[in-house]
Amino acid sequence: MSDRRVLIDAVAVEERAASLGKRSIEKSSKVAGLELTVAMMDLTTLEGNDTPGRVRQLCEKACVPLESDRTVGPCAAVCVYPNFVSVAKEVLRGSGVKVASVATAFPSGQFPLAVKLSDVRSAVEAGADEIDMVIDRGAMLVGDYAKVFDEIAATKEACGGALLKVILETGELGTYDTVRRASEIAMAAGGDFIKTSTGKIQPAATPAVTLVMLEAIRDHYAATGRKVGMKPAGGIRTAKQALHYLVLVKETLGNGWLSPKLFRFGASSLLNDVLAQLEKERAGNDVECKHPQYKLAEISEASAEDVGNAVAAAREAYEKTWSEMRVANRAKYMFRVARMIQDKAREFAVVQAMDGGEPIDESRDFELPLAAAHFFYHAGWADKLELAFHGRSARPLGVVAAIMAADFPLLTAARHVAPALACGNTVVLKPAETAPRAALLLAKIIEEAGLPQGVVNVVTGGGEVGAALAAHPGVDQITFTGSAKVGKYIQRALAGTGKRRTFEFEGSGASIVFADAPIDQAVEGIVRVLYFHQGWICEGGPRLLVEESVHDLVLRKLKDRMATLRVAISTFRTPEEAVEKANSTAGDFSASVWTNKGSKFFWMAQRLKAKTVWGNTCNKFAPSPHSLSAYTEVV
């Protein structure tokens, strides 16, 4: 190890790192960079509540990061505690994904060397391909460089054939000069990678610190001919940030380092945003809030920082005001919001008609009254939660992230925000990027109603904003309404996190007509189901099942009712057959059963896999205490 000291010009480093982040990237290069980022990812679970099941889920995600597009390759590695190495090794066998393990008294590094080396040998014996060690920062800061060197060299020897990544914990080293010196020591002692941070201490990775370490790698290679890898870890949450780091690597070390063998990302939450951006870039969709003939509005795209600020505001409001507030006062605020929605019904109706093309009579006469009703109804439950759960105590969950679809934007928001608030939670609402203005108007009403700051927050933007919100560690409950495809993506992203979640997907519900049904009433209901909201509604029942003996009668009446209606009807002979056919599709949101026999309806309702089952009617909505259970922990 050379005694030559390299002094770092902090201003120059920070200016160069910032300037490289402003480089424009062509679409094709951006897609390639995002795919490469996935391949460079080390997915990590290093929590005190880790379980074998959680580790298995993480490994499965590393093997297939994007189930809807298997052309996206696997991640580089999974990093776990030593006692979970064997579990990860079993799941990842044959996948090409490496198993890494932290060692040497992670994250403090403040254990005797013998204990640290035993930690390493245990992980390697269990099958670890890579070891992430932490240096003794105390020794580094007091200038005991020999001790730091010797510990790294001894750890490298204990690794045997396993690759060694040396964590500097740059946030504790203080200066760029010390970071440079620690990088040189780690490489001279045999480290195969140098790594910024454990992710447990802030600040973690920054572009400037990473640039200092990349330049140390460059100079080490020039002097020795040995290539050392680099791993920024912690604080990298967006695809845009990841591409910035790839530019840093390319400009400092060249294309030879743009490989998982020499560059890794240590930020599991980053994967969600990268995959969302990758899907967006491949699809080429840039959704704007506009009318076909003119622009309606310009809506800001929330950044990862904006999402973090919104969650932080919700957390502070939850801990300091809303959860501690007298429930009667909570109810008072919610009643006020309900009345103000009624007062501004005309404005809401116009906004929604312009945003989504919803007929104004539907918005005015159906959605607006029902949205206000949800706030009225749940305000009444705010001080009666123990009655909803049969004498058991119910406590709020914390911060709720509500990611909404474009259909009925105000009603969908009200259906989730109102019960969440009634139960004592705070909310971060992410409306659909194509119809955000109803949510923004609702936020304005909530502000005017005087709710404490941070109780309800709105972030706008596309899929990457939703992904960042879902992945944020400060969120306790995820509520999602939308497509099954996006829902599955969120489900995978939440695997192993322990977060509560509520999903509502689009479906293909069934209208089931028995021979004893009021046929004329059923025909009117079927037509309403098919054509309400132009058929664009998750509660719709486009599949029609008719008891075989009345098939011809129902078909004739439908044809008479609407000659232009294209009707496709399946028949059934028994209630059991009707249930089997009705349940043959996944994700049914609702169903309707037409019969004059109450016992038959209840028998069907217990067996149909639908969230809502109507009897001799359809598309009838009202608030329900059922929604309260999604936003409380009942003990």
Q: Residue 236 and residue 457: Cα distance in Å, rounded?
A: 23
Residue 223 has pLDDT above 90, yes or no: yes
* Per-residue pLDDT band at 285 (split at 50, 70, 90): very low
Contact between residue 166 and residue 191 where contact means Cβ atoms under 8 Å apart = yes
Amino acid residing at 612: T
Q: What are phi and psi of 472, to 5 degrees?
A: -65, 130
Residue 37's alpha-carbon distances to 22, 196, 238, 422, in angstroms, are 18, 17, 11, 42
pLDDT at 490: 79
SS3 annotation, 443-457: HHHHHHCCCCCCCEE
Q: Residue 471 and residue 530: Cα distance in Å, rounded?
A: 37
Q: Residue 2 and residue 307: Cα distance in Å, rounded?
A: 45
Q: How far does the chain reach from its first CA to its final CA, in angstroms?
A: 60
Residue 528 has pLDDT above 90, yes or no: no
Q: Residue 587 and residue 334: Cα distance in Å, rounded?
A: 32
Q: Residue 214 and residue 523: Cα distance in Å, rounded?
A: 71
Sequence-distant (6+) residues with CB within 8 A of 213 are: 168, 170, 179, 180, 183, 194, 196, 230
Cis ω on the peptide bond leading into residue 65 (within 30° of 0)?
no
pLDDT at 556: 87
> Which alpha helices (DSSP H) does 284-365 contain, by range?
304-317, 327-343, 345-356, 360-362
Sequence-distant (6+) residues with CB within 8 A of 4 are: none
Cα three-residue angle 268-469-35, rounded to 5 degrees: 45
Residue 88, both tokens: 């990860």
Sequence-distant (6+) residues with CB within 8 A of 132 are: 79, 100, 101, 102, 103, 106, 165, 167, 195
Residues labelled as active-site residues: 132, 195, 231
Measuring CA to CA, which residue among 133, 170, 162, 160 is closest to residue 149?
A: 133
Q: Residue 146 and residue 109: Cα distance in Å, rounded?
A: 16
More confident position, 70 or 427: 427
Residue 286 has pLDDT above 50, yes or no: no
Q: Residue 310 and residue 245: Cα distance in Å, rounded?
A: 26
Secondary structure E strands in 351-508: 394-396, 399-403, 426-430, 456-458, 477-482, 500-505
The 77-80 sheet, strands edge to edge: 42-44, 77-80, 98-103, 130-134, 163-167, 193-195, 229-231
* Per-residue pLDDT band at 363 (split at 50, 70, 90): confident
pLDDT, average across residues 416-445: 90
Four-point Cα dihedral 121, 125, 129, 133, nearest 10: -20
- 161 CB-contact burial (10 Å; exposed 0-12 / middle 13-18 / buried 19+): exposed
* Per-residue pLDDT band at 627 (split at 50, 70, 90): low
Q: Residue 237 and residue 244: Cα distance in Å, rounded?
A: 12
Q: Residue 165 and residue 228: Cα distance in Å, rounded?
A: 10
Residue 115, both tokens: 């204990």
How many of the other CB atoms lie within 10 Å of CB of 260?
Answer: 21
> Which alpha helices (DSSP H) does 543-633 contain, by range?
551-561, 575-582, 598-607
Residue 12 has pLDDT above 60, yes or no: yes
Residue 613 has pLDDT above 80, yes or no: yes
Within a 13 Å sphere around the CA of 29, how many CA atoms are in the beta-carbon half?
11
Contact between residue 471 and residue 269 where contact means Cβ atoms under 8 Å apart = yes
pLDDT, average across residues 193-198: 92
**Predicted structure pTM score:** 0.49
Tens digits of residue pLDDT in 551-588: 989 888 888 886 655 555 878 889 999 888 888 765 55
Between β-strands 632-634 and 394-396, what pairing exists: parallel, antiparallel or unpaired? Answer: antiparallel
Q: Residue 415 and residue 481: Cα distance in Å, rounded?
A: 11
Contact between residue 377 and residue 418 where contact means Cβ atoms under 8 Å apart = yes
Grouping H, G, I as helix, E, B as strand and the rest as coil, residue 262 is coil
Q: What does R_g of the chain's alpha carbons equal in angstroms?
A: 29
* Highest-confidence segment of 27-36, 46-55, 128-137, 360-369: 128-137
More confident position, 85 or 583: 85
Contact between residue 604 and residue 593 where contact means Cβ atoms under 8 Å apart = yes
Cα three-residue angle 191-192-194, rounded to 5 degrees: 70
More confident position, 355 or 17: 17
The 590-594 sheet, strands edge to edge: 569-572, 543-547, 510-513, 590-594, 612-615
Mean model confidence pLDDT for the chain:
84
- Kindly report which listed range (121-135, 212-226, 411-425, 492-506) carries the lowest average pLDDT score: 492-506
Percent of the chain whose pLDDT exceeds 90: 37
pLDDT at 288: 56
How many of the other CB atoms lie within 10 Å of CB of 196?
Answer: 29
Q: Residue 329 and residue 350: Cα distance in Å, rounded?
A: 32
pLDDT, average across residues 85-98: 93
Query: What H or E segment, with its residue span, contains residue 138?
Result: helix 137-141
pLDDT at 537: 56
Contact between residue 50 and residue 80 where contact means Cβ atoms under 8 Å apart = yes
Q: What are phi and psi of 118, to 5 degrees?
A: -65, -40
Secondary structure E strands in 214-280: 229-231
